[in-house]
């Protein structure tokens, strides 16, 4: 907890420095729109966001990055309203595929404070690297806080994960992070940290959509026929892919 508090405080100072240097960087981006500057301990990634394709994915990502939403601390249960991503670790790295982050527990198994509707399925998809997407939880639910950045094409994710951004700078940083040594669960042996996430605009784009509360439908249940014994009912589990 102390380490994250320290990291969050350091991130504020870093954000000020990043903002001071942002003018020249933003001037080099030609396409008007909304962008995210993801500063990691391994380098900086800049991504163009796609609110026209995935409005709620972008809305939640931006609102969490800016500290505009209330979420519960997974360790204390206390409500917080602060910049969500600053100080979090990359909890999974898969070489030539993706990095994942957005879980305060750094396990990838933490409870997501928000869920999203099914959206963001094309025309921009995961057929090539450098895409930002939301992860999925059990029962086909889409998380509103955990996300991944692809290092290479993963077309099998098309139609399953919302695609809400495209890397325009720093794809080499993404690939470098995906290539680090990891444990058996894919967690980097040497921590890779998201130091800060800054949302900014180029030109005069339409305002970002607001984050709309979303309550997903409870997933349908199916019987585990493989464990039915002695006429007793088996354990019920969510059916993956239910919407």
For the chain, the domains span: 2-238
Segment 204-210 shows an average pLDDT of 96
User: 36 and 130 in contact (C-beta within 8 Å)?
Assistant: no
| Token output for 168 | 């325009």
Task: Tell me what pLDDT residue 233 has.
Answer: 41
Segment 176-204 shows an average pLDDT of 97
Q: What is the pTM of this model?
A: 0.80
Taking only the tens place, the pLDDT of each residue in 84-107 is: 999 999 999 999 999 999 999 999
pLDDT above 50 (res 20): no
The total of other beta-carbon atoms located within 10 Å of residue 74's CB is 13
CATH superfamily of 2-238: Cyclophilin-like (2.40.100.10)
C-alpha closest to that of 219 among 138, 160, 145: 138
Beta-carbon-side half-sphere exposure of residue 227 (alpha carbons within 13 Å): 8
Task: Tell me what pLDDT residue 122 has.
Answer: 84
How do strand 43-49 and strand 90-94 relate by DSSP bridges? unpaired
Q: Which residues neighbour 9 within 8 Å (Cβ) at sequence distance 6 or greater?
A: none
Question: Tokens 């969050």 map to which residue?
Answer: 8
Taking only the tens place, the pLDDT of each residue in 34-83 is: 999 999 999 999 999 999 999 999 999 999 999 999 999 999 999 999 99
Question: Tokens 């720093």 map to which residue?
Answer: 170
């Amino acid at each position: 907890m102390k380490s994250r508090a320290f990291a969050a405080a350091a991130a504020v100072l870093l954000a000020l420095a990043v903002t001071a240097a942002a003018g020249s960087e933003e001037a080099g981006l030609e396409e008007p729109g909304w962008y995210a500057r993801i500063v990691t301990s391994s380098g900086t990634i800049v991504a163009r966001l796609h609110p026209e394709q995935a409005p709620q994915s972008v809305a939640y990502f931006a609102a969490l990055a800016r500290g505009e939403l209330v979420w519960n601390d997974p360790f204390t249960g206390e409500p917080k309203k602060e910049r969500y991503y600053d100080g979090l670790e990359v909890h999974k790295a898969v070489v030539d595929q993706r990095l994942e982050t957005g879980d305060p527990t750094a396990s990838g198994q933490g409870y997501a404070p928000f869920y999203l509707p099914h959206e963001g399925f094309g025309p921009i998809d995961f057929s090539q690297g450098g895409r930002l997407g939301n992860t999925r939880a059990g029962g086909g639910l889409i998380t509103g806080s955990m996300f991944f950045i692809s290092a290479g094409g993963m077309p099998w994710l098309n139609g399953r994960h919302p695609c809400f951004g495209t890397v325009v700078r720093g794809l080499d940083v993404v690939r470098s992070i995906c290539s680090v040594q990891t444990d058996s669960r894919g967690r980097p042996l040497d921590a890779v940290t998201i130091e800060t996430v800054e949302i900014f605009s180029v030109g005069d784009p339409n305002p970002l959509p607001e984050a709309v509360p979303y309550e997903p439908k409870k997933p349908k249940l199916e019987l585990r026929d493989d464990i039915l014994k002695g006429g007793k009912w088996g354990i019920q589990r969510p059916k993956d892919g239910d919407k």
